[in-house]
Homo-oligomer: A and B are copies of this chain.
Amino acid sequence: MMFHYRFRTAGRAGSSQHGRRHFGTSLPRYRSRERSKISEAFPACTPPSRLLVMNSRVRTEPLLGDFPLSIPGDSYSVVVLLQGYSEPQGTEGAQRADGSVTLLLPTTWKSQGARGEAPAGPDTQRALEQAASGPVLVDTGGPWARDALLAALAAHGVTPDAVTLVVGTHGHSDHVGSLGAFPRAALLVSHDFCLPGGLYLPHGLSEARPLRLGPGLEIWATPGHAGLGDVSVVLAGTSVGTVVVAGDVFEREHDGDTWRQLSEDPEAQERSRQRVLAAADVIVPGHGGPFRVFRGPGDPSAS
């Protein structure tokens, strides 16, 4: 089911075609990097309106640090638990791949036995806010990453039962492979929001209307890669500014035109990419490390 919305679509040719995926080499998931003092270099700031900057030059650079990468914030800290990757295997077009996994920890949350409010319905807004009152996981990676995911969560004092919300940016197997590891969490997979047990609640998410989950925390409709239902998580008020966990809107920092080959709707995805680039100070892509975004004529302080 894709619940509680209507898509307005023009007609289109629908048949998929076989195509080879072309990638450069991506960094392996667990490689340590030289530590940078993120919280000192990038003090928290309120992001200004981004709509005016879409025609400005955009520059990006990797966000460096040891993994798991941790970014403090006013309302939530962001932890990139597992870095996504995609690596060609052999010459026949095979790829070993997995999606990035990100944790949002409310600053008010205590790990010693305390669980956020159990989400309850049927008031959707209240249920969303309750779901985001505890640890929020954005994507889970594939099922093969389950043990690594649970270990990474445990290192941050988070048990599977403590997770109150799992957001699936889109329904591909390398992003929603371990939904079942969090049976007490509400789920927001693409546009489907449900409480534990499968009670689906209506909402009004659209490109024009984000969902508000908490202070500075929103869900944006960012269609294109897997179709119309893709979503991104947008968190303002961190030490690096606004962080956007963007699923496969961006494969990696430099994804050239390869993202188009993997896109169900390149036109919609281009629109999503522009919206994210206009708002984000840091983007967590689906198959690479997080990267910083600078808008303006090359001046970092312009962001």
Contact = CB atoms under 8 A, between A and B. Distances in A.
Nearest to A7: B264
Stoichiometry, copies per complex: 2
B14 A223 contact: yes
A122 to B, nearest CB: 5
Contacts of A287: 1
Main secondary structure of the interface of A (DSSP, over half): loop
A179 B94 contact: no
Interface in A86-113: 86, 89-90, 92-99
Contacts of A265: 7, 9, 12, 14
Contact of A226 (B95, B97, B171, B248): B171
Interface in A1-22: 1-21
A11 to B, nearest CB: 5
Interface in A51-105: 86, 89-90, 92-99
A105 to B, nearest CB: 22
Contacts of A199: 89, 94-96
A192 interface: yes
Contacts of A17: 5-8, 206
Nearest to A192: B173
B264 A9 contact: yes
A172 B2 contact: yes
A225 interface: yes
A16 B168 contact: no
Contact of A264 (B2, B13, B181, B196): B2
Contact of A15 (B12, B181, B221): B221
A41 interface: no
A118 to B, nearest CB: 14
Contact of A194 (B6, B142, B200): B142
Interface string A118-150: 000110000000000000000000111110000
Query: Which of A9, A12, A13 has most B Cβ within 10 Å?
Result: A9
Given A89-B122, A200-B95, A227-B228, A181 B179 contact: no
Interface stretch (A151-159, A183-191, A236-244, A288-296): A183-191
Contacts of A13: 8-10
A39 interface: no
A221 B14 CA distance: 10
Contact of A266 (B9, B179, B207): B9
Interface in A215-269: 221, 223-229, 248, 251, 261-268
10 contacts: A1-B99, A3-B97, A5-B16, A9-B12, A14-B271, A15-B221, A16-B206, A16-B223, A94-B200, A144-B198
